[in-house]
Amino acid sequence: MQRRKIAIMGFGTVGGGAYDILTSNREYILSTQGLDIEVAAVLDRTSAPLVAHGVDSKIFVGDIDKLASDPEIELVVETMGGVEPAKTFIEKLLSAGKSGVTANKELLAKHWSELEQTAKAHGSGLYFEASCVGGVPIIRALGESFQGDKIQSIYGIINGTTNYILSKMSGERLDYHNALTQAQHLGFAEADPTSDVEGYDAAYKLSILASLAFHTCVPYTCIYREGITKITSQDISNAHALGYEIKLLAIGTRDGNAVEARVHPVFVPSAHPLASVSGAYNAVYLNGDHVGDLMLYGAGAGAHPTGSAIVSDVIKGLKGKPEYCDFDNTGKLDKDIDFVGDFISGYYISLTVDDKTGVLSKISTVLSDNGVSIKSAIQRTGQAENTATLLFLTHRAREHAVMRALGTIGKLATVRRIDSMIRVL
């Protein structure tokens, strides 16, 4: 049996996890897949990560050109993260005829088209199961399991950090900052959590998933994005009282040529399957025109869950011929696609107002004048003297209509402040 040699670029948590699986399960992969896979080289800044992981430093490589010119290396795993130098390195390897496996959602969201063009030009494969939702095989499912269905919608909890924070706020009544600190202490959140908590990470992933699901480019720059940093303990408490959980959702839909894609906090009904996804776990809830509703659930991050997805791509890349997108992957929105910015949703609105007669009537009139219908309204005693808190749930309404209404409401003399506005699933 011919030994198949591969390399890993970036030997951090995920790269180390992939190495562990490839080495500990080497005999198992040989017996079940007929592949004897050897990690023959690891590229990193220094050999220190290898030594710390107990790996023989003899396989350390510090020069990308040496890796690209090695005729025995036929596939390279990229787990460096970030855009550069990862992009330059992968392009060099693809140009040398070596297939690439990457877990890099930011790189793919920003440069997928260019990487695929380079891969096509040199007969190389480009595989990225690990880029979205950790160990959950969503990429393979979208590419290989729904060819006979039109995917109409995709709703995803696809960022483990934000789901962990919101779960702690919900289950343990922590405020946002304490929940974030705990997530950082446990390694679920970076020292700089911006990419996660402001929704960038989820937007990158949604760009990839929606493009595959809807067979058209959905650029990340088109995706509406809002993070969780404004979610308060009071919002969580109000959600529970109204029968909801708050989740950061990535939402994509397609109806004919109309496509929408957005990332933001959502009131999810407590009975919905996504409401029960807690901690750092991820889930993707799909609807196909014939298969109906499906949900894929599992660990959305971590060395071994993500490493498992990488190894599945390594095996796919070594066993089969390269496959590319089944749509024109230009990286731009297709001219025939109507991208929906004025989407339709239900809304939760919380206001602090003067505790006076007629305030509710004035606000209701503003909402009605803008075509926003109230589903339910609750008035509570405010925290400050002579104030009240008004909570509204609206029927489904247009985004722009709600924003216009809130702009007017915020200027009313009897409205102290708009505390929260969260969309409702």
**268 near 274, Cβ under 8 Å?**
yes
Question: Which pair of tokens denotes residue 165?
Answer: 């924070």
Write the DSSP assignment of 61-129 as a string of letters.
E--HHHHHH-TTEEEEEE---SSTTHHHHHHHHHHTT-EEEE--HHHHHHHHHHHHHHHHHTT--EE-G
CA pair distance 99, 319, nearest whole angstrom: 12
230 in active site:
no
Choose among 224, 276, 253, 275: nearest CA to 403: 224
Q: Tell me the three state secondary structure of residue 53.
A: coil
Nearby residues of 276 by Cβ (< 8 Å), 6 or more positions away: none
Marked catalytic residue, from 205, 319, 335, 356:
205
Label residues 387-399 b or e (16+ Cβ within 10 Å = b): bbbbbbbbeebeb
**106 near 206, Cβ under 8 Å?**
no
For residue 264, the one-letter residue type is: H
Give how far Cα 387 sits from Cα of 239, 315, 365, 384, 411, Å.
21, 63, 20, 6, 16
Write the DSSP assignment of 375-393 as a string of letters.
EEEEEEE-SSTTEEEEEEE
Beta strand 292-299 with 258-269 is unpaired
Q: Inter-axis angle of helices 359-369 and 399-409, to 10 degrees?
A: 150
Nearby residues of 320 by Cβ (< 8 Å), 6 or more positions away: none
Catalytic positions, written as ranges: 205
